[in-house]
């Protein structure tokens, strides 16, 4: 397993998430995002169709069955769309030889949850739409949301230097909070370092402190002067976690739960390593010589921390992004800051904001995030013009989730 782990470098070199390639000057993130309709009744507005199933045991009740008649949409039209989406997901799992995938889609009056493949390859247990996955870099959208909430309350300024809040950050007096959140700080990515992987593989159970990860990154020269480029760095969001803790006076796990998870009704999400785990996490895998390799808990969650330790479901992520981008969680000023884009190298996205990325799709411009972490990849986006959200979670490292998102987007774009 160590050879597989070293090859993928989980959220550093997944290759199909946020940015293409993996070099010393730009690294790919952990993970993805999307939104779903809120029916105003405490549900997330995403019904399960095709694959059916319940949320994980102990995490809540079963999802509603069938494609619901939302906002007057004809049942027959939603049923037809659900069948086409399930067919596209089945085909994607087969084409990429994925262990399994779960997806959430909402457009207009129709919403759908689907799943294909297995949650446990050895036991041949089928994935259910409500199963839990590691979400990887989707965590960054949550942490950026916390930072912007604190900004709205006057507890944090995007233009302040990092050293205003946190000591011990290399060049902290020169780097702004904004530059941390949009990856223009120039700080080296710790997951792109041999030293990190050597230590992680020697002791996979090691509990990493943010200070340890930052110290590793500080041992390498910066990619560029602050504000003079873009380089995706997981170190930025390890620092972002410390920033929101310092500005709020609360641990990030408690802050995330009280400020985002509970208010948004995300009952099936948690920050791994910072709070108690929920049951229902599917098995995650890598590939070695064509064979699946178990990687569900290959490293301690603290190795990802505020950069990627979130665990969630497709419906919870859909609900989060809907509430984020419709102004429920953030006000217009904060959303404007979050969607102020900086240029990114050529790849799957064409702009990065504050914990949010922008990409083109068959449905037009989509906002969201991608992710890849040990054993898992994910992608979740919301198409502004068509009011369509798509989330795809896969229990295989390095899966081309962007391709699956586009496959589902084409189904929605077809008249």
Which residues have CB under 8 Å from 170's CB, separation 6+?
187, 214, 217, 218, 222
181-194 core/surface letters (b: 16 or more CB in 10 A; e: else): bbbbbbbbbbbbbe
If one counts the domains in the chain, the total is: 1
SS3 at position 6:
helix
For the chain, the straight-line distance linking the first and the last C-alpha, in angstroms and rounded, comes to: 46
What confidence tens digit (pLDDT) does each residue in 91-149 have? 999 999 999 999 999 998 899 999 999 999 999 999 999 999 999 999 999 999 999 99
Domain that holds residue 142: 2-413
Contact between 143 and 241 (Cβ < 8 Å): yes
Residue 391 has pLDDT above 60, yes or no: yes
Give pTM, 2 decimals.
Answer: 0.86
**What is the distance between the alpha carbons of residues 224 and 244, in angstroms, rounded to a whole number?**
25
Distance CA 402, CA 341 (A): 20
Distances (CA, A) of 226 to 100, 186, 371: 41, 6, 25
Q: What local confidence, expressed as pLDDT, does residue 4 receive?
A: 54
Residues 27, 151, 387, 94: is their CA dihedral positive or negative? Answer: positive
CATH number at residue 147: 3.40.710.10
28-75: pLDDT as tens digits: 222 322 233 333 333 344 443 333 333 333 333 333 233 333 344 568
Residue 394 has pLDDT above 90, yes or no: yes
- Extract the tokens encoding 157: 């300024």
Top-confidence residue, 58 or 89: 89
At residue 34, the pLDDT reads: 29
Range scoring the smallest mean pLDDT among 30-34, 202-206, 394-398: 30-34
Give kind and range of the element (H or E) at residue 359: strand 357-361
Picking from 211-225, 227-241, 375-389, which range would have the lowest pLDDT averaged per residue? 375-389
The tokens describing 328, both together, are 């429920």
CA angle 339, 10, 275 (to 5 degrees): 75
């Amino acid at each position: 397993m160590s050879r597989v782990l070293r090859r993928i470098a989980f959220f550093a070199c997944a290759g199909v998430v946020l940015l293409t390639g993996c070099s010393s000057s730009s690294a790919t993130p952990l993970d993805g995002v999307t939104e779903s309709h809120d029916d105003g009744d405490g549900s997330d507005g995403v019904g399960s169709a095709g694959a059916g199933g319940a949320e994980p045991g102990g995490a809540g009740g079963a999802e509603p069955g069938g494609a619901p008649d939302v906002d007057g949409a004809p049942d027959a039209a939603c049923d037809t769309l659900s069948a086409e989406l399930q067919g596209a997901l089945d085909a994607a799992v087969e084409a990429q030889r994925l262990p399994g995938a779960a997806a959430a889609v909402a457009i207009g009056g129709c919403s759908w949850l689907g799943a294909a493949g297995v949650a446990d390859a050895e036991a041949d247990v089928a994935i259910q739409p409500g199963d839990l996955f590691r979400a990887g870099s989707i965590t960054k959208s949550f942490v950026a949301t916390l930072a912007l909430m604190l900004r709205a309350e006057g507890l944090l300024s995007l233009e302040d230097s990092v050293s205003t809040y946190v000591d011990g950050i290399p060049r902290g007096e020169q780097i702004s909070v904004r530059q941390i959140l949009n990856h223009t700080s120039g700080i080296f990515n710790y997951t792109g370092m041999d030293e990190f992987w050597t230590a992680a593989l020697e002791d996979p159970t090691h509990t990493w402190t943010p200070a340890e990860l930052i110290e590793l990154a500080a041992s390498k020269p910066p990619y560029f002067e602050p504000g003079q480029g873009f380089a995706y760095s997981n170190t930025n969001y390890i620092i972002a976690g410390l920033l929101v803790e310092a500005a709020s006076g609360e641990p990030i796990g408690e802050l995330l739960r009280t400020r985002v998870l509970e208010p948004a009704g995300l009952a099936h999400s948690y920050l791994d390593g910072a709070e108690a785990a929920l049951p229902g996490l599917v098995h995650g895998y890598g590939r070695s010589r064509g064979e699946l390799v178990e990687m569900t808990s290959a490293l301690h969650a603290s190795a990802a921390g505020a950069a990627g330790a979130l665990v969630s479901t497709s419906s919870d992520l859909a609900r989060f992004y809907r509430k984020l981008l419709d102004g429920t969680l953030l006000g217009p000023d904060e959303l404007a800051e979050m969607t102020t884009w900086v240029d990114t190298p050529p790849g799957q996205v064409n702009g990065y904001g504050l914990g949010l990325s922008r990409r083109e799709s068959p449905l037009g411009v989509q906002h969201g995030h991608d992710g890849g972490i040990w054993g898992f990849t994910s992608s979740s986006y919301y198409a502004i013009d068509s009011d369509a959200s798509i989330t795809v979670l896969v229990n295989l490292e390095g899966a081309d989730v962007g391709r699956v998102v586009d496959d589902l987007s084409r189904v929605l774009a077809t008249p």
